[in-house]
Homo-oligomer: A and B are copies of this chain.
């Protein structure tokens, strides 16, 4: 094994802050959504992805990509959302192995009702504390990181 290349002091400082944010942020998003809408951030995000899709429908595999999750995880979450009436599952006519997930009207209403509070949380905690220049830097840096973290570019972030 070769010599370990430790981090420089500047790198270490930045990394520690970054990790802290990565640890804290999900909790902030989750608890607002849990408190105000009784959904997890991941559930909300799943429904939001469906809400933007044509016919509010996506195949499970595509939805897994869009939410950047694994199929088993998604399958469980969709089961829960289905039980709550927010999503429907139907076998895909084109490929009988596949399953289509569709956002129900109730699910759509849920997203519409939940979005403002969620956006507010994002604003308060992330967007508003930053300047326009910061936002541009953040966009650039996260884009660079995604190139490594998500080489297949499964996540939709770069679609636009």
Contact = CB atoms under 8 A, between A and B. Distances in A.
Q: DSSP class of A's interface residues: helix, strand, loop or mixed?
A: helix
A139 B7 contact: no
Of the listed residues A9, A15, A18, A132, the one surrounded by the most CB atoms of chain B closer than 10 A to its CB is A18
A149 B28 contact: yes
A106 interface: no
Query: Assembly of this chain: how many copies?
Result: 2
A123 B20 contact: no
Contact of A18 (B7, B68, B142, B160): B142
Nearest to A24: B149
Interface string A138-160: 11111111111110000111101
Interface stretch (A54-62, A83-91, A95-103, A114-122): A114-122
